[in-house]
Amino acid sequence: MKLFSKVLISCALLGSLVPVALAADNRNMGKDIGHVFLVSAEPAAKAVEVVKAAAKDLVLKGDAKCTVCHDESDSPKVLSISQTRHGVNADGRTPTCTSCHGESIAHLGHKGSSKPPKPDHMFGKNSATPVAERNQACLSCHSKDSKRHLWTGSAHQTNDVACTSCHQVHTNHDKVRDKRTQPEVCYTCHKEQRAQENRISHHPVGEGKVACSDCHNAHGSAGPKLLKKNTLNETCFTCHAEKRGPFLWEHQPVSEDCSNCHTPHGSNISPLLKSRAPFLCSECHNGPHNSKVPVAANAAGIQGGITATTATNPSESYTGRGCQNCHSMVHGSNHPAGALLHR
């Protein structure tokens, strides 16, 4: 019992020490500490040295006024610009911070404990800088090359899309410039195309072999839907050259517009078809299958492989289920007897 009392007394003593220590801390808070970081004891020359040392550019020419605060300890991502083409100092065209963000006098001159005003041009999602102004920072250099000179008036420009909506400048991996990650950037807005690309028949976009920019020029084009070429067919023929022709026997809708039959982003009917044969074909070929009028001089005879002895009017439900079983050269034929696109 004696031991118990001793232990209790010890606890009480130790417990009382903690508040005493805390109280001591609180008393210390009353001291004047305005001198804490004073460096006035240092010679003036040393202060000048410090200023000079701090004024060194970290990445870009003349970036010291920004990187004195925004250095690797504050925002390392900002300095990643050194790993991009915008950080190549040997190139005379390389901009500096203020080339894009503006001179930002108010931001640079700010003193005190309040939040400094924002730089003149900010490019984040919630930036107050108008999109046109933001884009002008990029276009001041990037408007003259052939890929971007049609930006003005393009669908993206007229819909107030900013360059930085898709591009990241302060990173060595700009997602939209990487074939594998680019589609995810485009799908952020183009959600319908994301769904279509997940259908059974699709261009190998998800597989990383085709990117949106293989067909589209997001910076503006003379073609429809921001296609890289002037027409849809011209764009498709870039890869599908065997469909280009010229053919001895053309299938007119093919030469006119691939999208008469195909949908570009994905379909559950292979190969990227808008509808299934024979319904797709019968959208145009809605007459009797055994037309008596030959399509050409060397195409006389009853169609469908049915001779007069079996039938003069072959059943459409019999012969029309798989049009391409016979009309295999649906994109056009160069065979002298290929008028019906059989061979």
Partner 1 sequence: MKKQIIASIAFVMVTGLFGTAHAAINEDAAKSQAKKNDCFKCHAVDKTKKGPSYKKIAIKYKGKADAEATLIKQITTGPKIKMEDGTEENHKIIETKDQSEIKNLVGWILSL
**Residues engaged in binding partner 1 (CB under 8 A):** 3-4, 7-8, 10-11, 14-15, 18, 21-22, 24-26, 28-29, 31, 33-34, 36-40, 44, 47, 50-51, 54, 68-75, 111-113, 115
Element holding 333 (H helix, E strand): strand 332-333
The torsion angles phi and psi of 273, rounded to 5 degrees, stand at: -85, 150
> Cβ closer to partner 1: 30 or 271?
30
Q: Tokens 């040295």, residue?
A: 49
CA 342 to each of CA 21, 43, 157, 246, 336: distance values in angstroms, whole numbers, following the listed order:
98, 96, 47, 17, 11
Counting every residue, how long is the chain?
343
222 Cβ contact list (under 8 Å, min separation 6): 150, 230
CB of 95 to partner 1, least distance (A): 23
CB of 100 to partner 1, least distance (A): 20
CB of 106 to partner 1, least distance (A): 16
Residue 193 identity (one-letter amino acid): Q
> Cβ closer to partner 1: 54 or 248?
54
CB of 14 to partner 1, least distance (A): 5
Measured distance CA(63)–CA(89) in Å, rounded: 12
> Cβ closer to partner 1: 78 or 212?
78
CA neighbor of 179 nearest in space, from 157, 150, 147, 203: 203
247 Cβ contact list (under 8 Å, min separation 6): 331, 332, 333, 334
> Cβ closer to partner 1: 19 or 271?
19
CB of 65 to partner 1, least distance (A): 12
> Cβ closer to partner 1: 116 or 223?
116
CB of 60 to partner 1, least distance (A): 18
> Cβ closer to partner 1: 44 or 90?
44
Long-range contacts of 144-147 (CB under 8 A, 24+ apart): 147/217, 147/219
Q: Does residue 116 have a cis bond before it (omega within 30 degrees)? A: no
> Cβ closer to partner 1: 45 or 241?
45
CB of 72 to partner 1, least distance (A): 8
* Residue 227: strand pairing partners: 216
